[in-house]
Amino acid sequence: MRFLVVSPHFKPDVAPTGGVVAMVVEALGQMGHETHIVTSLPWYEHHAVAEGWQGSPWQNGCHDHGTVTRLHPFPTDKTSLPARSLGYLGFSTLAAVAALASKGPFDAVLALSPPLTLAVVGWLAAERHRCPLILDIQDIFPDVAVEVGAITSPPLIDLLKHLERFCYGRAAAVRVLSDDLAANVTAKVSRMRRPPHIEVIVNPVDTTTPASPDSDTPYRRELGLGDATVFMYAGNLGHSQSLDLVVGAARRHTHRSDIAYVINGGGVMADHITRVAADIPNLTVIGYQPPERVSEVLATADVHLVLLKAGLSASSVPSKAFSALASARPLIAAIDIGTEVANVVSEAGAGLAVPPDDLEAFVAAVECLANDPDARHLMGESGSAWIAERRSPAVVAGALATLAEELGTK
């Protein structure tokens, strides 16, 4: 089969979505499928087009199993929602032109959201190329933005919700990452005359890189962490993450030289967290590392932290949790109990789940694992084994290919 993939990011961009799409595309290629990708020029790390990619706003090229069109992302002030919205609109307009101009035929269009505007691009491309649209929902927008207070205008919320339902109604299938997200979307499409098929297909995890048992990495030495037990949050620093839990726990543990905290990533809250951490000696805040160092970063931690504010599990899945499990490190997941990640932690015996935004429970979990290295080792091994069986790129790509085949016969 031949797929047209519309994605906000693709390797070598360091955005998590770019890595996910790269793994799926590689696995599809190994199965004999071809992909043409419409995406942005790399820009995520510094919120500006990366060095070596400046120049033309439209660049065509190849990847291992097909072709790729990279477009200017129109990066703007990341702290301004109106500015970011205009940037997404500019990129999506270019993406629509590129997708419509892409040389077919295609068996399916796979369009990732957010931004929700790429769902519209996917619909237009599917109409143009006369093939089904699979709308790939990584986070449910605008729900996440509304829940965290990033969008408060009732007219704007209504407009975005209408756009969301419009996009669902134009898709042959909606792919979501968890049963929680599936329930959310199902409730929104249940009254449609021809609702899309809802399919739960998880994001893949790199299961090919062997997990390092040694946390004494060059990265640890660069950060001066010594032999402390390192509790690390690695990922997006946004409104959805309960980063204040890490700050609060670090303040509690300034008297313990055996506990260190690291926040590793970037996003709209990065500057704020950096300022807050300035007077906390056992908390290190550092930006994203190059892709080639990701496995080293993950190995540096003794325990990985998964942080999602209360009520957001119905619209967002912190997929970084699964990369952390693949690194053979246990998790402390501060997330809605009974939802996807919390259930995985319990099922796999891979760490501890605590209620979101509960500092006392979070601190207790940190102290429990800090004091028990044997438990940490067993939990890490258990989580790694669980991931290897269920989240390989081949499994995920196979599920997407099967879905596309089924849609093509309808």
pTM of structure? 0.86
Of 58-72, 97-111, 238-252, 383-397, give the lowest mean pLDDT range.
383-397
Please give the distance of CA 22 from its chain centroid, rounded to a whole number: 13
- pLDDT per residue over 114-156, tens digit each? 999 999 999 999 999 999 999 999 999 999 989 988 899 999 9
How many residues are there in the chain? 410
Return d(Cα 157, Cα 126) in angstroms, integer. Answer: 27
CB-based contacts of 384, cutoff 8 Å, min separation 6: 211, 325, 326, 327, 328
| Domains of the chain: residue spans and CATH | 2-204+392-408 (3.40.50.2000), 218-390 (3.40.50.2000)
Return d(Cα 161, Cα 304) in angstroms, integer. Answer: 34
pLDDT at 294 over 90: no
pLDDT at 81 over 80: no
* pLDDT mean over 396-406: 97
Q: What's the one-letter identity of residue 276?
A: V
Q: Order the strands of the 283-286 sheet from edge to edge.
A: 283-286, 259-266, 229-236, 303-307, 331-334, 351-354
Longest dimension (CA), the chain: 64
Return d(Cα 301, Cα 291) in angstroms, integer. Answer: 17
